[in-house]
A and B are shown apart, each in its own frame.
Chain A
């Protein structure tokens, strides 16, 4: 390495101020020659300083995702559907003045017509009012079950992923057992064993059967994030486990879980309707979409509107939540931008 181009500490005569540029020059030049490229000392600093100067916007994952979502017609349409359904659940009075329980048998099975846009059911109750009032149990169960499953699953998954060890092993085995139980079959078995079945029981059952999905998702996210260099750096600074979790791991791990939670709302609403239709969910005199559907099943040919309207709104609602989840997933993935 006596050919003169090899990096060498500048001789001891150099002063502190004069050395930097020379050493930099020498070092860069040597490498630049190896790469057969012109020496580019200083270019990096100049170019990047300009890049810093002209981007005043503070970008963040959620901020960018929101910008993306606002410009997506699909997301806006789905969000409007979801908001409408939620509004129905909160204040059904805004959508209909008819009392869903004010029924007259003379109207039994009357098809849609003036005075009743969706027609009347077997008992002669207004179907439109029933659908409006039936949104509440679906939405309550949907948000409650998806919310609780997400909180529980994410908490367990985060602890299992972060600490590993026996807790992780035990939780993973329990999750496997729950996975082996099909959602509907498990629902039928559990609910038919209960003395009374209401919104709470159904929601609890859907949490019990739904949390492992979220747990697995969260666990794998945490495992992949916890090895990241910035987590190691925080640990090297002396950060506590709680701080590492709250500041570093969760913000970087939560996005897919939020996406799945949105989709799970749709799944839960569908599952509630299915279980009710099968006769193990909500029971008359409760008003819900599943109850309406189960009433419709025996008179499908005679009165198809009984199936058509509750079925459509159920499908549209579920579709809205599933699609929102999908669009959200794409918006949260920077690689797709």
Chain B
């Protein structure tokens, strides 16, 4: 992408976002008035990563692995159980209500379901300008409708859409409205929560392209949540693979797609459909057995061991840290990391 050319050289220093040991447990309670906690669903358990300005981090995993919860905690739509997230040097988990209001301008979200993410009772114009009613200093009142029109046109919708209601638009168009809404406050970071999963494949490409153009134009960083490795590859600079509330492997495109060392990443890669029948037969397909374990009662040691084809005794006893054990150049939470050449490419 041209973004690779235009982007500022990556300078070491403070990243835009640094998430440290993020934990989100949903307590399981019993009782009607006096609630007793009888356990916790460990939706996100000790997740750490960094995001540089203008960078895209793909967050991949199957449903229930905690990727959406991670995204929502960063917006404080869910309150984290513990951990820290430094955004522009400020820990967003420790902000007061007033500070949070200001900080929220700089982090926005695009949702998965374009049919649920727009208020059916509001016109597109109301939806776009609401942000400026909440933060009146961003755009003066007189300019709001012009700015809203510009924004709509920027995301590829006719300016007259302002006076229409969401149900008059298709899924792809609604998603564009969602993108325009996310842009209203000139954010530094947009969290894209499976923004194309609900769209037709032809529209997916258009929306992804739009997101990339916007990134180049405004220098916005993305956290791109998805369950589809091929979509993520297209847009991400780096990819983090999550399993049962943990990041199991993180690295740049090459690390994940060509040199994956975690058996779970390898299994995911081997499940990506290959459109070309030639050579397809020679690919190793890793079939995972069983279902995702209960996140309220995760397996001892390595969380993936119950479904792992490499599992050994050590895996049940010792929880593998997310480190670069074997010098593959990127961290992987596996005791026995190794590159399988037959999967992926």
- For B119, B134, B156, the residue with the greatest tally of chain A CB atoms inside 10 Å of its CB is B119
How far apart are the CA atoms of A299 and B32 in the complex, in Å? Answer: 53
Question: In the complex, which of the residues A3, A61, A240 contacts B275, with contact meaning CB atoms closer than 8 Å?
Answer: A3
A4 within 8 A of B: yes
Smallest CB gap from B277: residue in A:
A3
Question: In the complex, which of the residues A1, A43, A59 contacts B344, with contact meaning CB atoms closer than 8 Å?
Answer: A1
A5 within 8 A of B: yes
Q: Which of B76-134 contact A (CB under 8 A)?
A: 77, 100-102, 104-105, 107-109, 111-113, 116-123, 130-131, 134
Contact A229 B113 (CB under 8 A): yes
How far apart are the CA atoms of A243 and B206 in the complex, in Å? Answer: 33
A45 within 8 A of B: yes
Question: In the complex, which of the residues A2, A27, A59, A237 contacts B205, with contact meaning CB atoms closer than 8 Å?
Answer: A27
B218 within 8 A of A: no
Contact A20 B109 (CB under 8 A): no
Contact A31 B205 (CB under 8 A): yes
Question: In the complex, which of the residues B5, B108, B120, B278 contacts A252, with contact meaning CB atoms closer than 8 Å?
Answer: B120
Q: Which of B118-155 contact A (CB under 8 A)?
A: 118-123, 130-131, 134-135
Query: What is the distance, in angstroms, from A160's C-beta to the closest C-beta of chain B?
Result: 14
B38 within 8 A of A: no
Query: What is the distance, in angstroms, from B205's C-beta to the closest C-beta of chain A?
Result: 4
List of A residues within 8 angstroms of B77 by Cβ: 232, 235-236
How far apart are the CA atoms of A41 and B206 in the complex, in Å? Answer: 8
Contact A5 B275 (CB under 8 A): yes
A102 within 8 A of B: no
Contact A1 B274 (CB under 8 A): yes
Known: A5-B275, A232-B111. A61 touches B120 (CB 8 A): yes
Interface segment among B47-55, B163-171, B219-227: the answer is B163-171
A60 within 8 A of B: yes
- For A30, A52, A243, A252, the residue with the greatest tally of chain B CB atoms inside 10 Å of its CB is A52
Known: A12-B4, A251-B121. A34 touches B275 (CB 8 A): yes
Contact A237 B131 (CB under 8 A): yes
Interface string of B4-28 (1 = CB under 8 A from A): 1110000000000000000000000
Interface string of B31-44 (1 = CB under 8 A from A): 01100000000000
Contact B234 A238 (CB under 8 A): no
Query: What is the distance, in angstroms, from A33's C-beta to the closest C-beta of chain B?
Result: 5
How far apart are the CA atoms of A232 and B122 in the complex, in Å? Answer: 15
Q: Which of A5-38 contact B (CB under 8 A)?
A: 5-10, 12, 14-16, 19-20, 23-24, 27-28, 30-35
Q: Number of A interface residues, CB 8 Å?
A: 62
Smallest CB gap from A237: residue in B:
B131
Interface segment among B208-216, B288-296, B302-310: the answer is B208-216
Q: Which of B233-249 contact A (CB under 8 A)?
A: 233-234
Query: What is the distance, in angstroms, from B95's C-beta to the closest C-beta of chain A?
Result: 12
How far apart are the CA atoms of A48 and B114 in the complex, in Å? Answer: 15
Question: In the complex, which of the residues A9, A34, A173, A239 contacts B273, with contact meaning CB atoms closer than 8 Å?
Answer: A34
List of B residues within 8 angstroms of A228 by Cβ: 116
Known: A19-B1, A44-B206. A32 touches B201 (CB 8 A): yes
List of A residues within 8 angstroms of B156 by Cβ: 45
A169 within 8 A of B: yes
B323 within 8 A of A: no
Smallest CB gap from A227: residue in B:
B116
Contact B202 A51 (CB under 8 A): no
Query: What is the distance, in angstroms, from A292's C-beta to the closest C-beta of chain B?
Result: 45
List of A residues within 8 angstroms of B158 by Cβ: 49, 52-53
Contact B75 A236 (CB under 8 A): yes
Query: What is the distance, in angstroms, from A140's C-beta to the closest C-beta of chain B?
Result: 33
Contact A48 B169 (CB under 8 A): yes
B185 within 8 A of A: yes
Smallest CB gap from B126: residue in A:
A247
List of B residues within 8 angstroms of A27 by Cβ: 204-205, 208-209, 234
Contact B170 A51 (CB under 8 A): yes
| 9 closest residue pairs by CB, A with B | A31-B201, A3-B276, A27-B205, A229-B117, A40-B202, A28-B205, A251-B121, A230-B119, A229-B111
Show 25 A/B contacts (Cβ-Cβ < 8 Å), sorted by A: A9-B4, A12-B5, A16-B2, A16-B216, A24-B209, A27-B204, A27-B208, A40-B202, A41-B205, A43-B202, A44-B172, A44-B200, A44-B202, A45-B206, A52-B158, A52-B173, A169-B33, A173-B33, A229-B112, A233-B109, A233-B117, A235-B77, A238-B101, A238-B134, A252-B120
Besides A27-B208, A238-B104, A239-B130, 10 other A-B contacts (C-beta < 8 A): A1-B257, A12-B4, A19-B1, A44-B202, A45-B156, A52-B164, A52-B169, A59-B168, A229-B117, A233-B178
